[in-house]
Amino acid sequence: METSTIQVEKPTKDLLNELKHTFGSKTYDEVIQTLVKRKTESGFGKFAKKKISVKEMMDGLRDKDDRN
C-alpha cells in the first residue's frame, strides 16, 4: 500500500490521537476513514447531495440573531 505524509498542526494531531483511542483504531488512517464514513452516512451527507441555495445553507448555520 502506498503511503503519504501530511502536515497537521499540533492541536489536530492531538485530536486525531484522542479519536484513535476513542475509536479503537490502530492507525491515523483508520481514524480518518472512520470520520469520512460517518460524514457521508450522516444526514449532512444526504443533505449535501440536495441542491440548496447559499441562503438556505447559511440560515441553517447561523444563530437566529445573526440572520438577515
40-65: per-residue pLDDT in tens?
A: 665 555 555 666 667 776 666 666 66
Task: Tell me how many domains the chain contains.
Answer: 1
Residue 20 covered by a domain: yes
Question: Is residue 33 a part of any domain in this protein?
Answer: yes
Domain of residue 50: give its range. 11-66
**Residue 44 placed within a domain:** yes
Domain assignment present for 6? no
Residue 21 pLDDT: 94
Q: Please name the residue that has the C-alpha cell 452516512.
A: 41
In a domain, 32, yes or no: yes
Q: Environment class of residue 66 by beta-carbon count within 10 Å: exposed (0-12), middle (13-18) or buried (19+)?
A: exposed
The pLDDT tens digits of the residues spanning 21-44 come to: 999 999 999 999 998 888 766 555
Of the chain, the end-to-end C-alpha distance in Å amounts to 50
Of 12, 13, 16, the residue nearest 35 (C-alpha): 16
Residue type, 28: Y
pLDDT tens-place string over residues 2-18? 988 989 999 999 999 99
